[in-house]
Structure 1
Amino acid sequence: MDRRHRKKLPALWLMTDERVDAAALLAAAARLPKGRGGIVFRHYRTEPAQRRALFAALRSIARRRRLMLLLAGAARDAAAWRADGAHGRDGRRTVRPLVRSRAVHDAREAVAARRAGADICFVSPLFPTRSHPGAGALGRVRFAALARQVDAPVLALGGVRGLHSVMLSMIGANGWAAIDGLTD
């Protein structure tokens, strides 16, 4: 994605997760603010036909509500599935331009995201999270230090909820993403 289009990237993102019932994911997507939200569709372990059907249902909601929809995985698949972008490490070019997002958990991944020209980075985990029990959280200070190393808009992920919005801007986040924070 061309750098001049970054201002159009949403500040609120729903991350999909197999732990969450499909109906709850669809309902959460339908609640995202019209024209100002995004969805990162992961569901890596879901059976292929079921994964494609759930993606299609989310794409329908995304189109009606003018939400951005990214597919985790290969950029070629994201283009074929008519996603707005690809989430992950695949930097290969596609026929049509895609928004590219990356996960950033440490300084090494921040450098990789910068080299890859990521359009948006999900820095995580800010706080402890149910999706990764026992994983160490960055906390505010380490999150802020890592966010400064990222050369793209930063979205906070990991235990984040709407009530954190003021604090997030103070530690370098341009927005936030959640699983449980948007599906509970």
Structure 2
Amino acid sequence: MTDEARLADPVDVLGALPQNSVVIFRHYGASDREALASALVGAARRQKVRVLIAADPALAVRVGADGLHLPEALAARGPGAWQNWRRPDWLVTASAHSLAALFRARAAGADAALLAPVFPTISHPEGLTLGKLKFSAWCRQSPVPVYALGGISGKTGRLLKNSGARGFAGISGFLI
């Protein structure tokens, strides 16, 4: 996931990612958001990395992105908020911070969800977290594949080995 406060140019992170990774482009406040998104999509194609645009299906279509990421509030509005923009080959993910949000992600048409925060994060070290047990329980109950987000590192990722998570998402763990 991109973070404009920690990484001004999201293209810079591509070299650290393996092929078939997915980058969720956020940069919500960037005045040049469309230009950044377009550059990221072009560079990512050359690296065989997919790009999802967060919260803006029209932008995703304009820049030829590989899909859309739904922040939890957008997913809660259901598929009507974005479904008319959907392309057949898109990957759609949604953010979730509760078990109910995982079910709303499915109802919204998401293919997968990013469940957070699993562990303390750099940006919110004192915030409430799910922890391994709750995260694992919710993975087993989720109607969509779940990716762990929040405080993910090599060490914490190993703690989730048998959690049911499909994979990991992160911000700081991928900044170089």
Report the CA distance between 1:22 and its aligned residue: 2.3
| RMSD (Å) for aligned C-alpha atoms | 1.8
Is the 1:127–1:158 contact (alpha carbons within 8 Å) kept by the matching residues of 2?
A: yes
Is the 2:41–2:63 contact (alpha carbons within 8 Å) kept by the matching residues of 1?
A: no
Q: Whose RCO is larger (CA < 8 A, sep 6+)?
A: 1
Residue aligning to 1:141? 133
Q: Distance in 2 between matches of 1:26 and 1:128?
A: 26
- Counterpart of 2:149, as a letter, is L
2:62 is equivalent to residue 77 of structure 1:
no
Q: Pick from 91, 94, 117: which aligns with 1:99?
A: 91
Q: In the TM superposition, what are the counterparts of 1:27-176 in structure 2 within 5 Å?
A: 27-34=12-19, 36-47=20-31, 50-88=32-70, 89=75, 90-94=81-85, 96-97=87-88, 98-176=90-168
The two structures have a TM-score, normalised by structure 1, of 0.81
CA 1:134–1:164 in structure 2 vs 1: closer, same or farther (change >3 Å)? closer
SS of the aligned residue for 1:102 comes to strand
Q: Which runs of 5+ in 2 are unaligned?
A: 76-80
Task: For residues 101-138 of structure 1, give each alpha carbon's deviation from its aligned partner in whole angstroms, at most 9, with x where no partner exists.
Answer: 10010022111012123111101001111233542111
- Total equivalences in the alignment: 166
Q: Distance in 1 between matches of 2:86 and 2:12?
A: 32
Q: Distance in 2 between matches of 1:17 and 1:31?
A: 16
The two structures have a TM-score, normalised by structure 2, of 0.85
Q: Which runs of 5+ in 1 are unaligned?
A: 1-14
Query: Sequence identity, in percent?
Result: 37
Report the CA distance between 1:147 and its aligned residue: 1.5
Report the CA distance between 1:78 and its aligned residue: 1.4
Residue aligning to 1:21? 7
